[in-house]
Amino acid sequence: MTTQSTQSSVSRRKFLKLSSALPLGAAALPGMAGSAFAAQQSRGGGGRAGADAGPAVGYIDTPANVTLLNINEFPSGPTPAAVDIMHKMATSGNRYYMGETRQFSADIAAYHGVKPNNVTLYAGSSEPLQFTTMAFTSPTRSFVTADPSYENGANTAAAGGAKVYKIPLKADYTHDIKAMAAADPNAGLFYICNPNNPTGVPIKRSEIEWLLGNKPAGSVVLVDEAYIHFSDADSVIDLVAKDKDLVVIRTFSKIYAMGGLRFGYAVGRPDLLAKLHVYGINFMATTAVQCAKVQLNDKQLIPTRKQLIADNRNRTLDFLTKQGYTVTPSQTNCFMVDVKRPGRTVAAALAHQNVVIGRSWAVWPNSVRVSVGSAADMAAFQTAFVAAMAMPPEKMSQLVHPYPHLLEEQVC
């Protein structure tokens, strides 16, 4: 988090201008930290309902019978204890409670074993990803990434005039770290999504450490750990305390089911975070902080939800493999499947079966990303997939996606 002097240097007007974030509430009630959810597999709300926490509200502009497996959302909402505290704190929405951002930032730092000034809170991880890219790339300092991978940073770098190097994944779907390090002696930022989006494949910690020790001088490594809770990948946040040229970003949008509530953070050396702060810092929303606080303290949340998603994912991967399709060995809540024909046409065909999946990447046009939902969601996917893939390719290619507004959201 920023120091108090840095925080106070940002005016109230700038706070309000930089973000739509709402104010903070009081500290979470101690009794709310315990988990109250059971690992249900009930379907509700057309596939958007809870895999473990009961029904969740779906998209208001999408029919209730549509299963959404398109943007790597968790299939249920926050835990009941978190929802309860949000209800309570909504009534305090008239108060700013700016100090709560600083306090919970310190809590996050303690959780990771780093200092408070190593952490800055953000409304999700998109902001720190973009700000880190803006801070360390330029027309003379390039952006290096794997391909395919999450493109937010690459798009931001390109918009700022930076050269973008996309290094193909290895045959086993892992990052080619040595090729990335050798891409450009003037590289400004190396982006590693661990585990990778869209493949769900993790990167070994030893490879990230190698990159930190062998990258061009003056460059920074950005590790995006948005999906790490679903996997067995090792975090590198502890390396921040060793003064590495490293920024790590995390989000509560995935396993903590806070995509719409917007909560995340960046971890790095104070001097590196200060370069991000140039583009704006803010205090966080009342409900988001309290929701994050309760769930961070819920010791059963991660193992329970990790196992639930793993079970649903592995059954689906087994189904697809038996059907003769190649899938990525994912450890997260998404995977890629080679559908042997243009992925966009398969996505349209599945949407006509009321199952909306993710997109294709330019480097893999015949593959599609599928998010992992509840057991019922994945059963619906399997049924729809069989029906869609039985369609002649020429007929499939003529289909128009019935929910074009959802295509705009598939950039996640």
Per-residue pLDDT band for 218 (boundaries 50, 70, 90) equals very high
Burial of 65 (0-12, 13-18, 19+ CB in 10 A): exposed
Instruction: Tell me the mean pLDDT in the region 96-107.
Output: 90
Query: What would the two tokens of residue 334 be?
Result: 């998404």
Measured from the Cβ of residue 138, the count of other Cβ atoms closer than 10 Å reads 17
Q: How far is CA 29 from CA 24, 81, 85, 228, in A?
A: 14, 10, 8, 28
Length of the chain measured in residues: 412
Going from N- to C-terminal start, the domains of the chain cover: 99-296, 302-407
pLDDT average, residue stretch 57-72: 84
Quickly state the pLDDT bin for 97 (edges 50, 70, 90).
confident
d(CA 242, CA 245): 9
Q: What is the CATH number of domain 302-407?
A: 3.90.1150.10
Q: Is the pLDDT of residue 263 over 70?
A: yes
> Given the DSSP bridges, would you call strands 187-193 and 142-147 parallel, antiparallel or unpaired?
parallel
Domains 99-296 and 302-407 share a fold: no
Strands (E), 87-205: 119-122, 142-147, 164-168, 187-193
**pLDDT confidence tier of residue 79, bands split at 50, 70 and 90:** very high
Q: Can you point out the beta strands (E) in 290-406? A: 326-327, 334-338, 355-357, 367-371
> Tokens representing 259?
């995509």
Choosing among 3.40.710.10, 2.40.30.110, 3.40.190.10, 3.40.640.10, the CATH entry for 99-296 is: 3.40.640.10
Model pLDDT for residues 302-341, shown as the tens digit of each residue: 999 999 999 999 999 999 999 999 999 999 999 999 999 9
Predicted pLDDT of residue 114: 97
Q: Check residue 280 and give its pLDDT.
A: 92
Q: Tens of pLDDT along 103-142?
A: 999 999 999 999 999 999 999 999 999 999 999 999 999 9
The 10s digit of each residue's pLDDT in 346-391 is: 999 999 999 999 999 999 999 999 999 999 999 999 999 999 999 9
Q: What is the pLDDT of residue 57?
A: 52
Angstrom distance (rounded) from CA 67 to CA 353: 9
pLDDT attached to residue 387: 97
The proportion of the chain whose per-residue pLDDT surpasses 90, expressed as a percent, equals 78
pLDDT on residue 63: 87
Give 151-172 pLDDT, tens digit per residue. 999 999 999 999 999 999 999 9
